[in-house]
């Protein structure tokens, strides 16, 4: 079983739709959960970062973590064509000088005008 699994898509939605992106992870010791957005041929950009179960909201983006089922989600409300990108979930144990993130393979999202 891979440590982080993510449906690669592609996912195509109309502008204004609510988008749901999901990942599962296998290691219950993982403490931190992140979502990155990556535009084509660019570096990943940190969108959301949380370390607890529950929801975290930032504008149109909501990250949700359920540690009991090892499930993480990203919701995008009122999706825009500019949201078209690949979304990567990441998790791991961080803190100070040690640790590294494990990334999902990414879900490619296309928002059609």
Partner 1 sequence: DSGVTQTPKHLITATGQRVTLRCSPRSGDLSVYWYQQSLDQGLQFLIQYYNGEERAKGNILERFSAQQFPDLHSELNLSSLELGDSALYFCASGDNGYTFGSGTRLTVV
Enumerate binding residues for partner 1 (CB under 8 A): 32, 34, 36, 41-46, 49, 88, 94-106
Give alpha helix (H) positions in the chain.
none
Query: Nearest to residue 59, comparing CAs of 46, 47, 72, 71?
Result: 47
Taking the complex as a whole, how short is the minimal distance between the CB of residue 100 and partner 1, in angstroms?
5
Nearer to partner 1, 19 or 88 (CB): 88
Taking the complex as a whole, how short is the minimal distance between the CB of residue 104 and partner 1, in angstroms?
7
Taking the complex as a whole, how short is the minimal distance between the CB of residue 34 and partner 1, in angstroms?
6
Q: Which helix (H) or strand (E) holds 4?
A: strand 4-6
Q: Which helix (H) or strand (E) holds 46?
A: strand 45-50
């Amino acid at each position: 079983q891979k440590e982080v699994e993510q449906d690669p898509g592609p996912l195509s939605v109309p502008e204004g739709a609510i988008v749901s992106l999901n990942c599962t992870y296998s290691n219950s010791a993982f403490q931190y959960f992140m979502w990155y957005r990556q535009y084509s041929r660019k570096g990943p950009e940190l969108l959301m970062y949380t370390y607890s179960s529950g929801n975290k909201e930032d504008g149109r983006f909501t990250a949700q973590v359920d540690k009991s089922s090892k499930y993480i989600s990203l919701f995008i409300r009122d999706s825009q064509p500019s949201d078209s990108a690949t979304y990567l979930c990441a998790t791991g144990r961080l803190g100070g000088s040690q640790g590294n993130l494990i990334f999902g393979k990414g879900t490619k999202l296309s928002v059609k005008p």
